Each structure stands twice: as structure tokens, then as C-alpha cells.
Chains A and B, each alone.
Chain A
């Protein structure tokens, strides 16, 4: 089974801090994604990556950046955390599938609170 591991289930940080959320997958997947989940809004894509050192903006990239130095690891960075970034963050990965889209496999999520 595919395993997508997020480093923290719960995280509490202060306004203005630089925050790192880590995600590791063990199936050699090319594609990795960061989503944000808020009640009443569903999941929204922040950033994604098709390959090492490659990144693409999603629908809500403002206030975030990402890093992918190794294929298995995709980091989400909050440059200067703000209270409106309090949310659940979900990482996902999927293999490259040609024209056949593979389902995304998700981690357990990190519930981040910014005080």
C-alpha cells in the first residue's frame, strides 16, 4: 500500500513564524500535492510538483511556498504565518500515468493552528 506520511498531526505556531510542513511518500511517485481543507470550502490546491525541483502554483498559493529537493519529500512553507492560515493541510501523491490519471493518495493531514 502507498504510504503518505505527514510529519505532524497537530501543530501550533505563532503569528509571524516561519512554518514547515513535511510530507514523505514511499512509492516513488512523481506527482505530489498540497491541499488546504476548510469547513464549507472543501479542499483547495495550494501547490503541486511534477518532479524534483519543479513546482506549480495551485488555486491559493499566496502566503505559501514549497520545496522539493528529493523525489519522496514535498515541503510546504508558510513564510510568515498568519491567523487566516489556521487550517487542515493535506498532502497527496500519485504516480505519473500517461493519459490514465491515477487516483491521488493522501496523508492523514496536519491540523495547524496559528495563534
Chain B
């Protein structure tokens, strides 16, 4: 069975600073996908970034980037130039690479507070 662990229940960062959220996972699969989702106070879950396990290059999306370490089964999210709008719950998620689709397995989340 696959598991996803987020060891930081809460984090805080000052506006314009950089913060890194940790995520580790456990799986015996060789091909899979990893995601970071953001859930602001409005509650809608929004995809931030995704990484295919077969790609060695780390994914980036504007101010968001990941550090994907496949051997260590680590998938951290770095937020650069933090903004007040980044305040949210962040979930790391895992999905096997199957035909069509598969369920997402989520971590317990990290609540990020960005201070002015």
C-alpha cells in the first residue's frame, strides 16, 4: 500500500521570503505521479504542481518548484517570494500511473500562514 507523510502540520513565513514544505511517500511502484494541492480558506482544492516519476527534471510553475528525490522518496515544495494569497492548507498527493486514472492518496496536510 502507498502512504504519504507530511511531517509539518503548520508553518509560517514572512511575505517575500521562501518556504519549503516537506513530503515523503512510500510505494513499491516504479511509475507514478506526485501532486501538490492548495486549499485556501475558500475551500476549493487547487492543483499547484505535478511531477511524473519517470522525469528526472524537477517541475516548476512560476514561484512554485519541487525537489523530487526518487531514491529517497521525497517530494518537497518550495514557494519563492511568498505572497499573502499563498496562505492555505497544502496537501501532497500520490497517484499510481495506471490506465485511465487512479485514486489520489493524500498526506495529512501542512497549514501555511504568510505574514505581512
Nearest to B104 among chain A residues (CB) is: A104
Nearest to B43 among chain A residues (CB) is: A109
Choose among B6, B46, B50, B103 the residue with the greatest number of A CB atoms under 10 Å from its CB: B103
Q: Taking the complex as formed, is A102 at the interface, i.e. its CB lies under 8 A from any CB of chain B? A: yes
Nearest to B35 among chain A residues (CB) is: A103
The complex places the Cα of A96 from the Cα of B50 at a distance, in Å, of 17
Minimal beta-carbon separation of B23 from chain A (angstroms):
11
Binary interface encoding of chain A residues 65-93 relative to chain B, with 1 for a CB under 8 A from any of its CBs, else 0: 00000000000000000000000101010
Number of A-B contacts (CB under 8 A): 65
What residues of B have a CB within 8 angstroms of the CB of A99 in the complex? Answer: 97-99
Question: A107 and B44: CB pair below 8 A?
Answer: yes
Nearest to B9 among chain A residues (CB) is: A40
The complex places the Cα of A54 from the Cα of B4 at a distance, in Å, of 28
Question: A31 and B104: CB pair below 8 A?
Answer: no
Minimal beta-carbon separation of A113 from chain B (angstroms):
15
Question: A96 and B100: CB pair below 8 A?
Answer: yes
Minimal beta-carbon separation of B43 from chain A (angstroms):
5
Q: How would you classify the secondary structure of chain A's contact residues: helix, strand, loop or mixed?
A: loop
How many residues of A are in contact with the other chain, CB < 8 A? 30
Q: Taking the complex as formed, is A50 at the interface, i.e. its CB lies under 8 A from any CB of chain B? A: yes
Question: A45 and B103: CB pair below 8 A?
Answer: yes
Known: A42-B107, A43-B104, A43-B106. A101 touches B43 (CB 8 A): no
Q: Taking the complex as formed, is B47 at the interface, i.e. its CB lies under 8 A from any CB of chain A? A: yes
Minimal beta-carbon separation of A67 from chain B (angstroms):
19
Known: A90-B45, A96-B100. A101 touches B95 (CB 8 A): yes
Could you say which of B45, B99, B101 contacts A102, with CB atoms under 8 Å apart? Answer: B101
Nearest to A9 among chain B residues (CB) is: B43
Nearest to A110 among chain B residues (CB) is: B43
Choose among B42, B43, B91, B109 the residue with the greatest number of A CB atoms under 10 Å from its CB: B43
Chain B positions within 8 Å of A, measured between CB atoms, are 4, 6, 9, 33, 35, 37, 42-47, 50, 91, 95, 97-104, 106-109
Known: A103-B35, A103-B50. 8 other contacts (CB 8 A): A33-B104, A40-B9, A44-B106, A45-B104, A59-B103, A98-B99, A98-B100, A106-B37
